């Protein structure tokens, strides 16, 4: 799939769902959506009073998952979700394109990209891919520990 080189702004999403334990929003599949997803992640996690380290990790994971959806799935829209699940933060990105059906090959030492899912694996307690409900596309998700105690650091 080709990388989108559109310079459009993702704009404001009037369909964003805000609750105490969940944020879900859709963005167009344009380059600017990666930074918009990071921004919305940062704002919601600040509202939830999430520790700085968790917020930093969550922004990185969200960025990697959105970037992968933009580059590899041929999606027109990406749907991002943050959800509190006990001591975990679930980050999920849904693309409406088909993309590859196999996990990506590991990046070679000389490759300039391809290490994003390695970062996701390193930061997440668990992560995975599942088919999108009701149609075309798939969901990539990752669960991050919310606090240092949940990471085994406390």
Predicted local distance difference test score (pLDDT) of residue 9: 36
Domain around 46: 18-100+115-151
Predicted local distance difference test score (pLDDT) of residue 108: 62
Contact 126, 145 (CB under 8 A): no
Residue 76 lies in a domain: yes
Predicted local distance difference test score (pLDDT) of residue 153: 56
Q: Is 130 helix (H, G, I), strand (E, B) or coil?
A: strand
Residue 35 lies in a domain: yes
Q: Which residues contact 20 (CB under 8 A, 6 or more apart)?
A: none
Give the position of tokens 């596309």.
137
Q: Which domain CATH number covers 31?
A: 3.30.565.10
Residue 43 lies in a domain: yes
* Cβ burial, residue 31 (10 Å; 0-12/13-18/19+): middle
Predicted local distance difference test score (pLDDT) of residue 119: 87
Residue 136 lies in a domain: yes
Number of domains in the chain: 1
Q: pLDDT tens per residue, the chain (154 residues)?
A: 222 223 333 444 444 444 568 999 999 999 999 999 999 999 999 999 999 999 999 999 999 999 989 988 888 999 999 999 888 999 999 998 876 555 555 566 665 566 777 888 899 999 998 888 877 888 999 999 988 666 555 5
Measured CA to CA, the distance from residue 94 to residue 36 in angstroms comes to 15
Torsional class of 74: left (φ above 0), alpha (ψ -120 to 50), beta (otherwise) = left
């Amino acid at each position: 799939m080709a990388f989108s080189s559109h310079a459009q702004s993702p704009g404001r999403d009037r369909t964003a769902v805000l609750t105490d334990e969940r944020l879900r929003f859709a963005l167009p599949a344009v380059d600017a959506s990666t930074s918009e997803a990071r921004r919305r992640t940062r704002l919601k996690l600040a509202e939830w009073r999430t520790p700085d380290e968790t917020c930093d990790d969550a922004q990185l994971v969200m960025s990697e998952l959105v970037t992968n959806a933009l580059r590899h799935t041929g999606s027109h829209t990406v749907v991002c979700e943050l959800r509190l699940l006990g001591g975990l933060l679930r980050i999920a990105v849904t693309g409406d394109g088909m993309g590859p059906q196999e996990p990506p090959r590991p990046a070679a030492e000389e490759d300039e990209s391809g290490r994003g899912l390695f970062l996701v694996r390193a930061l997440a307690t668990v992560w995975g891919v599942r088919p999108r409900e009701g149609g075309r596309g798939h969901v990539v998700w990752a669960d991050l520990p919310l606090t240092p105690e949940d990471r085994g650091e406390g």
